Amino acid sequence: MDNPSKITEGGVEYSLGKFDGKSLLYDFPKILIYLDAKGKMLFGQKFRVYDEDREILLKLCYYFIRDKENCASYGIDVDKGILLSGPVGSGKTTLMKLLRHLVPLQRPYEMIPSRNVTFSFNHLGYRTIEDYGNAKFFCFDDLGVEPPGRFYGKDLNVMGEVLLSRYELFLQTNKKLKTHATTNLSADELEERYGHRVRSRMRELFNLIAFDEATGDKRK
């Protein structure tokens, strides 16, 4: 890719800003045009960028393009992952699926429904904790509403264990490992679900970016 300020999708070239040969100066309105077009390709013609989501999108874009100065103004650490929280249907999963396309040169993350991790544990046992507590980049979707794990009669809070494993690896890799998640739960509900120890590790793993609680269901 000779010019990182341009992305071609479906034969159309989109500009994300200006590239002077060394650094890329992003242009947020141009980014929104690209995200709207890419969103329609991924999710169909009904997809659109909602005006009320612009603040959330701005924070996420600053994070993904690693704009440290603007991230700092929002209290966002570019070395941590993203925990995107909000009501059901607010568009969390859609945005996390979409925004990884904004930075094609960065290492991509895989979207995994949290319930699938539990189902895997119920079938395969503790190997699942190793499989997801590894050096891959993941975004765990719908964190906190997955069923409890059970293997040979023993119960386990599977996603809690996965997050603890990924936290240890986060420290070992000098904060280069990325873990993201989406959730419908509040911070208090997450602590109730996973316990204080996991909640405190989550604070170190994630930047919390939250939709307004009054955000409507976009799927209706």
Question: What domains lie within the chain, and their CATH numbers?
Answer: 78-210 (3.40.50.300)
* Local structure of residue 80 (DSSP, 8 states): S
- Looking up tokens 């120890």 gives 197
pTM value?
A: 0.92
Q: Are strands 206-210 and 81-85 parallel, antiparallel or unpaired?
A: parallel
Instruction: Compute the distance between CA of residue 201 and CA of residue 178 in angstroms, rounded to an integer.
Output: 14
At 169-212, the pLDDT tens digits run 999 999 899 999 999 998 889 999 999 999 999 999 999 999 87
Nearest Cα neighbor of 66 from 29, 106, 39, 98 is 106
What are 55-87's pLDDT values in tens digits? 999 999 999 999 999 999 999 999 999 999 998
